A and B are shown apart, each in its own frame.
Chain A
Amino acid sequence: MEILKLEHLAWDLPDGAGIIKDIDLSLESGKLVVVTGPNGGGKTTLAKLIAGIETPSSGHLFFEGREITGLDITERAKLGIAYAFQQPVRFKGLTVRDMLELASGKKLDDAHLCDLLGKVGLCANEYVDRELNASLSGGEIKRIEIASVLARRAKLSIFDEPEAGIDLWSFARLVETFQEVRRQKAGTLLVISHQERILSIADYIVVIADGYVRGAGPREEILPTLLADERSPRCPLGKESARV
């Protein structure tokens, strides 16, 4: 079943410069899809368009067959779209517990909190009462951000470079968690990543560069082309080799 469909999606800056240019994409439900591509290619912008944080300049979005182009962030969240920010937001006065409870929409007992934070390699006892303020380290706040999306048990969860800044052990735990979600058919995962370890567990890979989809297909097909020229300073999937 198709969970998400993007049709001719585009997003321009106010000065008219195109950032996302005519993207067509279809995601199959229950899969782990990894979006990759060079810095500044438009991956985060695409995620924000899906979550409703940005409004497309043109084109259409469909979620479970229903058009969501006109729906706002809250409405999309309620339909089952969740987004873990690339740059997590800090809050004075909200604790880790507050955030996870807001995310899951209910009070959480210690066992539940422990389970959620465990998925990102954090110990609940040490963290639940910490404020989400500047005192948390970069890797800590990043992992809490990821946990807040896991807590939503959304139909479609988007993670924007979940590996950024987190240590080897937490990263390994996170990879397990993604695989667990897939195994349990607990939702579709759209993971934006530059990490080979994440690419290597993908069902599908989508390459985005310069606002276009430069390549999309099963991992077996896309990954070798990406790795082939790993040491080249340029993304191997140039415009000419796009296989959309």
Chain B
Amino acid sequence: MNKITESLLRVVSEFGGSFQGAYNVREDGECAGRQSSANIKIESKKEGPGLVIHVLPGTKGETVYIPACVTHGGIDDLVYNDFYIGEGADVLVVAGCGVHNEESTEARHNGIHRFFLEKGARVLYREKHIGTGKGMGARRIDPVTDITMAENSYLEMDTTQISGVDSSMRKTTATLAAGARLVVRERLMTTGTEWARSDFDVTLEGEDAGVDLISRSVARGNSRQEFNSCIRGKNRCTGHSECDAILAESGSVIASPSLEAAHIDAALIHEAAIGKIAGEQILKLRTLGLTQEEAEERIIQGFLS
């Protein structure tokens, strides 16, 4: 892998010079390194670009790294990765994507991840996105995550877009069987003229399925964000979504949450708040000796942590 990929990986996928266990590094649309482990098999897809990742039933405590990097303009990388998580497995999946562009043509990564969790499987899915480089060409990351959860499975998705991505269209869909639980934690920051949109569509099919969706975002400069969520309760279930956005300078956010309940015992709640940093928070930190700017930075840093 090249130097740019290496430095992007350090930021987005906990890379410390090498990966322990199963991994596949994608660089500019090609494989730049792969390793399977005894319990986690990574293979190329036969019918198109992408991987099939099999985590054997009962696998515990292992990590699989599937980062992707684009290191220059003129690349439009589309990849389909399918994760099959065996019954009772409990693993950490570290994805993450970095797009670097010094050219005037666009650099884009479009990763379509499908998760199939068997009964009782547990996954912690970490995904961090960043754009770097000074080229005029846009840095685009358009991730799609499609999750199918069998009975009593659990998936926790931690997704963060730190900075430098000019345009991002995120789409997350999930279908949950009985007793399955999905937790999504999204952190998004846009600056300058960046644009980001995040769509969630979660269907709670089974009895006692549950979703907790927490999105925190900061829109600075002239950046724009859109947040759309739909939680559908088709059974006795619990759904909670919370969308908090901080605006700074001339940033703008549109939040359109929706709930659909088709069962008398579907308990669905949505909370949304958009606004500038609370003035009293800044005052409090200033009484501790921080300047106005330091206080704002610290509040945003904490909010997105």
Chain A residues closer than 8 Å to B301, beta-carbon distance: 93
Q: Which of A51-102 contact B (CB under 8 A)?
A: 51, 53, 72-74, 77-78, 82-83, 85, 89, 91-94, 98, 102
**Residue from A74, A77, A89, A148 in contact with B281 in the complex, judged by beta carbons closer than 8 Å:** A89
Inter-chain contacts of A105 with B (CB < 8 A): 289
Contact A77 to B288, CB < 8 A, known contacts A93-B304, A98-B302? yes
Q: Is the CB of B290 within 8 A of A74?
A: yes
In chain B, residues 265-292, which have Cβ atoms closer than 8 Å to a Cβ of chain A?
Answer: 278, 280-281, 283-292
Q: Mark A156-194, 1 if CB is under 8 A from B, else 0.
A: 000000000000000000000000000000000000000
Q: Is B220 an interface residue (CB 8 A)?
A: no
* B280 CB → nearest A CB, Å: 5
Residue of A nearest to B298 (CB): A102
Query: In whole angstroms, how far apart are the Cα atoms of A98 and B289 in the complex?
Result: 14
Q: CB distance A74 to B302 under 8 Å?
A: no
Chain A residue contacts of B289, Cβ below 8 A:
74, 77-78, 105, 152
B292 nearest CB neighbor, chain A only: A74
A103 touches B288 (CB 8 A): yes
Categorize the interface residue count of chain A. 20 to 34
| Known A89-B280, A89-B281, A91-B281: A73·B287 in contact at CB below 8 Å | yes
A92-B302 contact, Cβ under 8 Å, with A53-B283, A73-B283:
yes
Known: A74-B290, A74-B292. A85 touches B303 (CB 8 A): no
The count of residues in chain B whose C-beta lies closer than 8 Å to any C-beta of chain A is 22
Tell me whether B236 is interfacial, beta carbon within 8 Å.
Answer: no
Which chain A positions have C-beta within 8 A of B2? Answer: none
Q: How far is the CA of A72 from the CA of B289 in the complex (A)?
A: 10
* Contact code string A132-169 (vs B, CB < 8 Å = 1, else 0): 00000000000000001000100000000000000000
Neighbouring B residues of A82 by C-beta, 8 Å: 287-288
Is B114 an interface position by the 8 A CB rule?
no
Report how far A82 CA is from B302 CA in the complex, Å: 22
- With both chains docked as a complex, state the minimum distance between the C-beta of B113 and any C-beta of chain A, in angstroms: 27
Mostly helix, strand, loop or mixed at chain B's interface? Answer: helix
Name which residue of chain B comes closest to A79, CB basis: B289
Pair B303/A77 contact, Cβ less than 8 Å: no
B305 within 8 A of A: yes
- Chain B residues 93 to 137 lying within 8 A of chain A, measured CB to CB, are none
Partner of B286, one of A77, A91, A93, A152: A77
A43 to B221, CA, bound (A): 39
Kindly report which residue of chain A lies nearest to residue B294, judged by CB atoms. Answer: A74
B248 to chain A, nearest CB (A): 15
Complex Cα spacing A85 to B305, Å = 25
Quick check: B302 and A77 within 8 Å, CB to CB?
no
Q: How far is the CA of A27 from the CA of B296 in the complex (A)?
A: 33
B173 to chain A, nearest CB (A): 27
Expressed in whole angstroms, the minimum distance between the Cβ of B167 and any Cβ of chain A is 26
The reply on B144 being an interface residue by CB < 8 A is: no
With contacts A74-B292, A98-B302, A102-B298 taken as known, whether A92 is within 8 angstroms of B244 at the C-beta atoms is yes
Q: For B299, give its contact among A51, A91, A148 (CB under 8 Å).
A: A91
- B residues contacting A by CB (< 8 A) are 216, 244, 278, 280-281, 283-292, 298-299, 301-305
Additional A-B contacts beyond A82-B288, A152-B289 (13; CB < 8 A):
A73-B286, A74-B289, A77-B286, A82-B287, A91-B281, A91-B299, A92-B216, A92-B244, A92-B302, A93-B299, A93-B301, A94-B302, A152-B288
